[in-house]
Amino acid sequence: MASIAGLKARDPGFDPTRFVEGARQAYETIVQGYASGDRAALKPLLTPTVMRSFEAGIAAREQRGETEAVEFLFPPRADLEGATAEGDKAVAKVRFLAELRSRVTKADGSTADSATGEPLVEERRTAEHWTFERSLGASDPNWVLARVEPATA
């Protein structure tokens, strides 16, 4: 991805520090919204393509009768990897590192695996690249999530 200077030339108001803070907040909201199945919270933060993908995951979990709750063990780390203007869009890629605790509750209300008795709680570290975009010159300054890809830690 091209340098931030290219985006700043097309959007002089782009502030990388402010953008990263907003991206971190969006990351937490999106991760927790996906886990809880909060479609209303997700819709304005995602492109239609990403929303369809998230919707499929939420619907599959609902069909199994499961619910999930996620909490961040520490504030996620967010690093701006690049930002540029592509046509009429501003595009920015952020690398997130996070430590999460996920709790799944089954349809019968149990929070343990029936075969093993192990709790359905998982602590994990994630490393992902999230690509955000927004229309240049639009009155709406908000960015939306356009892509999620695995990253190295």
pLDDT in tens, the chain (153 residues): 456 888 888 888 899 999 999 999 999 999 999 999 999 999 999 999 999 999 999 999 999 999 999 999 999 999 999 999 989 999 999 999 999 999 888 888 877 666 676 667 888 999 999 999 999 988 888 999 999 999 986
Phi-psi region of 34 (alpha: psi -120 to 50; beta: other; left: phi over 0): alpha
* pTM of the complete model beyond 0.95: no
pLDDT at 152: 83
36 to each of 59, 105, 116, 133, how far by Cα in Å? 11, 11, 25, 24
**CA pair distance 75, 10, nearest whole angstrom:** 31
Query: Which residue spans within the chain are E strands per DSSP?
Result: 67-72, 77-86, 89-105, 121-135, 144-150
Class of the CATH domain delimited by 4-150? alpha beta
Phi-psi region of 141 (alpha: psi -120 to 50; beta: other; left: phi over 0): alpha
Cα 129 to chain centroid distance, Å, stands at: 9
Contact between 124 and 102 (Cβ < 8 Å): yes
**CA pair distance 13, 59, nearest whole angstrom:** 39
pLDDT at 113: 66
